[in-house]
Chain A
Amino acid sequence: MNDFIQHKLCDGINFNVIKESRFKTGRISATMFLPLNEETVSANAILPFLLSKSCQEFPDFTSLNKHLNDLYGASIYAEVSKLGETQVLGLSASFLDDRYSLNKESISAKVTELLCKMIFEPLFDNGKFIQENVEQEKRQLIELIESEYNDKRIFAKNRCEQLMCQDEKFGINRFGTKSQVEALTPDDIYKAWDQILKRAKIELTLLGNSNENLALDVFKRAFGKIKRENVFSCNTEIIKEAKHIKENREEMDLAQSKLVMGFRTGAALQDHLVMPMRVAVALFGSTPHSKLFLNVREKFSLCYYCAARYDRNKGIMLVQSGVEKENIQKAKLEILNQLGDVQKGKFTDNDVDAIKKSLSNNYRTVGDYLSSLENFYISQTFDSERVTPLEFVKRINAVTKDQIVKAANLITLDTVYILVGEKG
C-alpha cells in the first residue's frame, strides 16, 4: 500500500512521492522546518501566507485566483504549526487530477510550477517584498492570532500549554505575538525567506497520480540555483517529569467552565516507551472505550467532552474538558482517579484489546486520505527510521500490559488551567 519513495535533492531537502491512482485529486506540498525562536517566529510565520498570495508571474491576487479557478479550482494552502519545538511552515496545493479535466488539460504540471514560483519567485519591488502586501498580511496574521481567543476550547488548551511550557521554547505561539507581527518589516521577512531557502530542512511531497519526474525536475532546477548552507538543526527540550503542580484560574463571561490539565509523560520522540504510551493514553482517555469517556462522561454525567491527547514530539499529554462551574473540582479529581487506575493496572485484557483494535483501525485508515498520509510521513521527518502505517499497527499490537502500566506510571501532572465560566 501507498509506497513512499524519497529522492534526496540536496543537503536537507528531499523530494517524496506517494503514488496513488485512486483519488480524483492530487497534492503537492513544501514543508519547511525551522527552530522555534522568539526572534524569528513571526517573520517565518508570515511567509507562507505572503507567498501564497502572489508571485512574479501573477502579481495580482485576483488574477492569481482566476488562474486557480481555471485550473479547476486548484487550492493553495498556507499553514504554520509546531512539531515539538520546531516551527513548521507549509505551502501546498491540491488540484483535480488531469484525467478528470473536461477538456484534457494538464493541471498538475501547471500547479507544480505555480507552487514552485510562489516559493522561489515572490513578488518583489527593487528586490524587496512590497510594503503594501506585507501590511495586508500583517493585519490578517494579527487577526488570526487574536481569533484563537474566540474558540474557548482552543483558547483554554493554548493557555494551558503556554503556562506549562513558559520556560521552554514550546511555550512560544506558532505565529508569535501581535506585537512581534506589528514590528515586522519587509527586510525582516526577506531575511527569513533567504534563510529558509538556504538553511531550512525541506520536505517536498507529491501525492496522487501526477508525473513525478516532471515535478522533480521543476524543483531540482529551482533548488539548483540556491547556495545551501549549514542546515538548521531542530531540537526539542524534553522534560521528563513535573517537579510541582502549577494551577492557574482565569474568569470569563461563559456558560461553561473549561478545564485543561497538562501532564509530562516521560516518553517522547523515538523513546522505546512511545508506543506503550500511545496505548496508555488511548486507554486513559481518547476513545469511547476509554476510562475518561466511560466514567467522567457516561457514569458521572459531568461533561460532554473529556479527552486526553498525547504529543510524542514534546512528550506531553493534555486532558481537555468542559464542565459546570461547581463540578470543576469533582471532574479534576475523577480524571486523576482514572489515571490512577491505569497506573495501578486496573484494566482488563479486553480493554487493552479494544484500544489496540481502535488504534489499529485509525492507522490502517491513514492510506485512504491523501492529507492523512502526508501528515503521517511528515510527522516522522526527524526520526531515524521511516515506519509505514501497517508497521505502526504491528508495533501497537506488540505492546504488553506491563509496558502500558510502566508507561502510565511515568505520567505526572504539571499544570492545571481552569477557565471559570461566570455565567453558569
Chain B
Amino acid sequence: MTLKEIKSERIGDKYYTGNHDSGLRIFIYPKDGHHSTYAILGTKFGSINTSFFSTNNGEVVKLPDGIAHYLEHKLFESEDGDAFSKYAKTGASANAYTSFDMTCYLFSCTENFEESLKILLEFVQSPYFTPETVKKEQGIISQEIKMYDDDPSWRVMFNLYRAMFHKHPVKVEIAGTVQSISEINPENLYECYSNFYNLNNMALCVAGKVDPQEVLKIVDKIIKPINGTVPESYFPDDPYDIVRPRVEEKFPVSMPIFQLGFKEDASKGRPDIEESTQTDVILQVLASKASPLYRELLDQDLINESFGYEYFEGKGYAAVIFSGESKDPDKTASIIKEAIKKIHKDGISKEDFENAKKALYGRTLSILNSAENISNAILTLEFSNRELFAAIESVASVNLEDVNERLKSQLDIENCALSIISPESK
C-alpha cells in the first residue's frame, strides 16, 4: 500500500495516511527526538451502538447495554493467553477504553515496538469467549460499575443526559448496569465482534518514535481481512425538546454539584469542523475566565475553579454543557441564561472574537505536544470524517460573521435542563 503525506504548512508538522487492502485505515505521525511510541487501534463501535439493522433481514437487533465495554475487557483474552502477559515481555504499557462511539486498544513503548504492535494487532483479531471466561469478568465489571455509581461527577452527568434525551442511547451508562451485563454471553459477544470489528470500521494510528515502513510491514503480515459488511446502527429519533428541566439527587457530597445542558437539534447530522470551531469560540467568549459571566459568578461566590463547559455532540445528540460546584446551582443557571440572552441580543464583538480565537489557537496547538493526544485526536476525528490539521486550520481561519451566524442556532434557553447532586441532610 502507498502512504499519502499530510502536511501542515502553518506548523511544519506532517503525518502519513493510507488505506490498507483489508479496509483498515492507517495513520503514522513520526515525531523527531521522541523516546516513546504510542499506538492505538480503534473501532467505531461504542456504548451507543446497541441497536443495529441486521445485514440478513434488515430488522433491528438490540444488544444488552454495556456490551461494547464488556467486549473490550474480554478481547484481552485470547485462546493462547491474555494480552497483558504478552506485553509483559516487551515492556509496553497497555490499556483500552470504551467511549460512546468508539472502542480503542492502545500501548506506549520505548523498545520492542515491532513485537508490541504484533501483539496489539493479533489480540484484537483473536476473540475467544467461553461461558467461564465471560462469567469471571462479571465480578470485575460490576465493581467498575459500582465505582462509577459512587462518583458524583459521573452521576450528575448521566442524570443530565437522562433529563435531556428521551430515547437516544447516549443516556445509558457506558458500562451498562449490573443487571444488563448479566445478559452478556459468548454468543452476543461474538455477534458484536463479527459485526463491528470489521477492518472497514477500524483505524490504526501510530505516533512518536516510528518508521512508517516498519508499521506497514507488520500490518501486511498480521492483518487478516474479514468478510461481511458493517451493519448500520439504529438510533431512535430523539425529539428536540428536553425530557425535564430539573433533576436533583442526594448524595454524600460537601456542596452541590451541577451540570446545565442546552440541547440542540441533531437531526440534520453532525457539525463540520468549521461549525465545531465556531462553537468553541462562542463558548470561550461566553464563559471563559475572561468573560463577564465568569466574573459575575465569581463575585457572587457561585463558582470555583471546577467551573467548566464543553460541546457534547455525536451521532444523533448535541448539547452545550456547563458544569461545576456551586452553593446555589439554580441561581448559577439563571445567571448563565441571562448571559446567553445578552450574547444572543448583542452578538460577539470583534475584540472579544480576536481574543478568544488566539486563546483557542494556542491551546489547540498544544495537542501536538504528545503522541498520545495526537493519536487520540486523529482517531476521534477520523471516525467523524474530520482531519487534524484541518481542525487546527479552522481555528486560524475562523471568522466573526460565521460565528455570529452559528450563535443564532445554539444555546436555546427554552430548551435546557439542570442536573444537581446535593448534599444529604445531616
Docked-complex contact A150 and B152, CB < 8 angstroms: yes
Q: A253-B424, A365-B110 are in contact. Are A72 and B290 (CB under 8 A)?
A: no
Within 8 A of B (CB), among A241-266: 252-256
Q: Within the assembled complex, what's the spacing in Å between the Cα atoms of A72 and B284?
A: 13
A305 touches which of B147, B290, B355 (Cβ 8 Å): B147
Docked-complex contact A255 and B356, CB < 8 angstroms: no
Answer whether residue B409 sits at the interface, using C-beta atoms and an 8 A cutoff.
no
Contact with A along B312-335 (1 / 0, CB 8 A): 000000000000010000000000
Q: A331: shortest Cβ distance to chain B, in Å?
A: 10
Chain A residues with Cβ under 8 A from B149's Cβ? 254-256
Residue among B32, B94, B304, B396 with max Cβ neighbours from chain A (10 Å): B304
Q: Within the assembled complex, what's the spacing in Å between the Cα atoms of A394 and B345?
A: 64
Query: Chain B: which residue is nearest A306 at the CB level?
Result: B143
Contact with A along B358-393 (1 / 0, CB 8 A): 111111011011110000000000000000000000
Q: Within the assembled complex, what's the spacing in Å between the Cα atoms of A61 and B143?
A: 44
Residue among A65, A136, A300 with max Cβ neighbours from chain B (10 Å): A65
A297 touches which of B140, B146, B152 (Cβ 8 Å): B140
Q: Within the assembled complex, what's the spacing in Å between the Cα atoms of A167 and B36?
A: 43
Docked-complex contact B35 and A368, CB < 8 angstroms: yes
Q: Within the assembled complex, what's the spacing in Å between the Cα atoms of A120 and B142?
A: 52
Answer whether residue A183 sits at the interface, using C-beta atoms and an 8 A cutoff.
no
- Chain B: residues with Cβ within 8 Å of the partner, total of 74
Q: A150: shortest Cβ distance to chain B, in Å?
A: 5
Answer whether residue B202 sits at the interface, using C-beta atoms and an 8 A cutoff.
no
Chain B residues with Cβ under 8 A from A300's Cβ? 139
Answer whether residue B218 sits at the interface, using C-beta atoms and an 8 A cutoff.
no
Q: B207: shortest Cβ distance to chain A, in Å?
A: 11
Docked-complex contact A147 and B325, CB < 8 angstroms: yes
Docked-complex contact A301 and B140, CB < 8 angstroms: yes
Chain A residues with Cβ under 8 A from B304's Cβ? 139-140, 143-144
A150 touches which of B84, B88, B140, B254 (Cβ 8 Å): B254
B254 touches which of A1, A146, A370 (Cβ 8 Å): A146
Q: Within the assembled complex, what's the spacing in Å between the Cα atoms of A119 and B85?
A: 50
Query: Chain B: which residue is nearest A148 at the CB level?
Result: B254
Answer whether residue A73 sits at the interface, using C-beta atoms and an 8 A cutoff.
yes
Docked-complex contact A289 and B84, CB < 8 angstroms: yes
Chain B residues with Cβ under 8 A from A150's Cβ? 152-153, 253-254, 257
Chain B residues with Cβ under 8 A from A254's Cβ? 149-150, 252
Answer whether residue B34 sits at the interface, using C-beta atoms and an 8 A cutoff.
yes
Q: Within the assembled complex, what's the spacing in Å between the Cα atoms of A100 and B358?
A: 11
B290 touches which of A65, A100, A136, A298 (Cβ 8 Å): A65
Chain B residues with Cβ under 8 A from A102's Cβ? 358, 361, 396
Chain B residues with Cβ under 8 A from A354's Cβ? 88-89, 91
- Chain A: residues with Cβ within 8 Å of the partner, total of 69
Contact with A along B74-102 (1 / 0, CB 8 A): 00000000001101111111100000000
Chain B residues with Cβ under 8 A from A128's Cβ? none
Q: Within the assembled complex, what's the spacing in Å between the Cα atoms of A297 and B359?
A: 44
Q: A144-B304, A301-B140, A365-B108 are in contact. Are A255 and B358 (CB under 8 A)?
A: no
Docked-complex contact A143 and B325, CB < 8 angstroms: yes
Q: Within the assembled complex, what's the spacing in Å between the Cα atoms of A70 and B352?
A: 10
Answer whether residue A69 sits at the interface, using C-beta atoms and an 8 A cutoff.
yes
Q: A252-B252, A288-B94 are in contact. Are A322 and B146 (CB under 8 A)?
A: yes
A152 touches which of B36, B150, B284, B362 (Cβ 8 Å): B150
Answer whether residue A360 sits at the interface, using C-beta atoms and an 8 A cutoff.
yes
Answer whether residue B298 sits at the interface, using C-beta atoms and an 8 A cutoff.
yes
Answer whether residue B346 sits at the interface, using C-beta atoms and an 8 A cutoff.
no
Contact with B along A5-38 (1 / 0, CB 8 A): 0000000000000001111110000000000000
Docked-complex contact B370 and A362, CB < 8 angstroms: no
Within 8 A of B (CB), among A19-77: 20-25, 61-62, 65-66, 68-74
Query: Chain A: which residue is nearest B76 at the CB level?
Result: A288
Docked-complex contact A323 and B143, CB < 8 angstroms: yes
Answer whether residue A95 sits at the interface, using C-beta atoms and an 8 A cutoff.
yes
Q: A96-B366, A368-B208 are in contact. Are A72 and B254 (CB under 8 A)?
A: no
Docked-complex contact B359 and A149, CB < 8 angstroms: no
Answer whether residue A118 sits at the interface, using C-beta atoms and an 8 A cutoff.
no
Query: Chain A: which residue is nearest B363 at the CB level?
Result: A73
Docked-complex contact B84 and A22, CB < 8 angstroms: no
Chain A residues with Cβ under 8 A from B153's Cβ? 150-151
Q: Within the assembled complex, what's the spacing in Å between the Cα atoms of A144 and B307?
A: 12
Q: Within the assembled complex, what's the spacing in Å between the Cα atoms of A322 and B153?
A: 18
Docked-complex contact A256 and B289, CB < 8 angstroms: no
Docked-complex contact A302 and B139, CB < 8 angstroms: yes
Answer whether residue B410 sits at the interface, using C-beta atoms and an 8 A cutoff.
no
Q: A112: shortest Cβ distance to chain B, in Å?
A: 16
A368 touches which of B34, B251, B294, B360 (Cβ 8 Å): B34
Answer whether residue B292 sits at the interface, using C-beta atoms and an 8 A cutoff.
yes
Answer whether residue B5 sits at the interface, using C-beta atoms and an 8 A cutoff.
no
Q: A368-B34, A370-B369 are in contact. Are A322 and B108 (CB under 8 A)?
A: no
Answer whether residue B33 sits at the interface, using C-beta atoms and an 8 A cutoff.
yes
Answer whether residue A358 sits at the interface, using C-beta atoms and an 8 A cutoff.
yes
Chain A residues with Cβ under 8 A from B162's Cβ? none
Answer whether residue A224 sits at the interface, using C-beta atoms and an 8 A cutoff.
no
Answer whether residue A270 sits at the interface, using C-beta atoms and an 8 A cutoff.
no
Residues of A within 8 A of B (CB): 1, 20-25, 61-62, 65-66, 68-74, 94-96, 100, 102, 136, 139-140, 143-144, 146-147, 149-153, 252-256, 288-289, 293, 297-298, 300-305, 322-324, 350, 354, 357-358, 360-362, 364-365, 367-370, 421, 424
Q: Could you name 17 residue pairs across A and B whose Cβ atoms are closer than 8 Å?
A: A61-B295, A68-B290, A68-B359, A73-B361, A96-B365, A102-B396, A151-B151, A152-B252, A255-B146, A289-B84, A304-B140, A324-B143, A354-B89, A361-B91, A368-B34, A368-B35, A368-B36
> When A and B form their complex, which 10 residue pairs have the shortest distance between CB atoms, in order from nearest?
A72-B362, A357-B91, A301-B139, A73-B359, A146-B254, A354-B88, A73-B362, A65-B290, A69-B359, A304-B144
Q: Given known contacts A24-B11, A143-B304, A369-B369, what 14 new A-B pairs fall within 8 Å (CB)?
A: A1-B35, A20-B33, A24-B369, A65-B289, A69-B358, A72-B359, A73-B362, A136-B301, A149-B254, A288-B88, A357-B89, A357-B91, A368-B35, A370-B369
